[in-house]
Amino acid sequence: MHQIYAQMTTMSSQGHRGHRHTAPVRHVAAVHSELSWRLPEVDVERSGRQVVASYWSDQRETTRDYAARNPRGYYVASLFMRTTQLALSTDAGKIHQGEWRSGSFLLSAPGQTLRAQFDTPCEILHLHLSEAFMRRMAEASNGLHLLGGLASVGVSQDDAIAQLGRALLAADDKMCGWQYAERVAAAMVSRYFHLLTQAQLTDGQPPRRIALPRWRLQRVREYVQLHLGQTITLSDMAAAASLSPMHFAAQFRIATGQRPHDYLLACRIDRAKTLLATTDRALIDITLDVGFCTQAHFTTVFKRFTGTTPSLWRRHNYRPASLISEVPRASAEILQLRPSKND
């Protein structure tokens, strides 16, 4: 029996009066211990697993403060195995302060930082779920539209999810391993997506689509302009917005009406137009300055955006910088970042 479970035989029965908690036995590879709150004894990012389950038990009555950042590329689900008093917040603000009932299920996004203040003992099962795993579960539940909403923290409470969590914690050492944890996690996440879908149907609301807030858009724009002459990936743009690539791409398109890659190309072409119109630099130099690797590729993309080649465009628009009052910016409308309604 693992040490943390030996403690559970004497755990307080708050919220379970008249019932003595029986300590479950688990396979070490199925549910890992935690070095600190939300920090498993294994390196989640390097584990290569779709699901890493871990368990946090703290029976102290004193106030404790913690902060933890979710691993890159992993959502973190928290299932409260007993009722506790907790104040929980993110960088965006407070999530909840007060009582968290046994069976409460909390899901937070990759890279998100959570801060907690516990005032009573707590026992929490954590599931570290890869983005690929979550996308697969969302597709199976017809809930791909729900993934954008999971960029923030979602809280639910459900007896079925709680029962699945107890089953995972009670896993037999000789029969179960990390594969069992993955199967149980799949059932828990599928149930969670079902609850979200049912809540939308009950409210009579269409699927909620979340747009990238104005401040995140501005950070992306500044990053792109600063690194325009370099290679910029979707992950780079997402990191500038402090989101996972999947969430960023979906929210960016809702906010701007275009894909991040199309926006990046438009920025490169816009910078190229300025250089073509105000300087006599060689096309190959401009090509490299705006982030293209070859002049042929630059010409192809430029023609797609403007309908003509860089040389012909320069011939009709070239004006020395000293004479320019306003450089033509045919893509200005494309580059305008529209603010979201939820700023």
SS3 at position 342: coil
| Averaged pLDDT score across all residues of the chain | 80
Q: Above 70 in pLDDT, residue 182? A: yes
Which of 21-35, 150-164, 306-320, 326-340 is most confident? Answer: 306-320
Question: Higher confidence at residue 264 or residue 24?
Answer: 264
pLDDT value, residue 77 = 93
Q: Above 60 in pLDDT, residue 7? A: no
pLDDT value, residue 111 = 87
Percent of the chain clearing pLDDT 90 (strictly above):
44
- In the chain, CATH 1.10.10.60 sits at 214-335
Contact 170, 25 (CB under 8 A): yes
Segments in the chain forming alpha helices (H): 3-8, 44-47, 131-140, 159-169, 178-203, 214-226, 234-240, 245-256, 260-278, 283-289, 295-306, 310-317, 332-335
* Poorest-pLDDT segment among 39-48, 187-196, 306-315: 187-196
Distance CA 141, CA 191 (A): 9
Distance CA 37, CA 60 (A): 13
Distance of CA 122 to the CA centre of its chain: 26
The mean pLDDT of 308-336, rounded to a whole number, is 66
The mean pLDDT of 216-224, rounded to a whole number, is 92
SS3 at position 317: helix
**Confidence at 329, pLDDT banded by 50, 70, 90:** very low
Could you tell me the maximum CA-CA distance found in the chain, to the nearest angstrom? 87
CATH of domain 3-203: 2.60.120.810
Distance CA 256, CA 240 (A): 16
List the structure tokens of 203.
């409210």
pLDDT value, residue 26 = 42
Q: Above 80 in pLDDT, residue 105? A: yes
Q: What is the pTM of this model?
A: 0.55
Domain 214-335 has CATH 3.30.2130.10: no
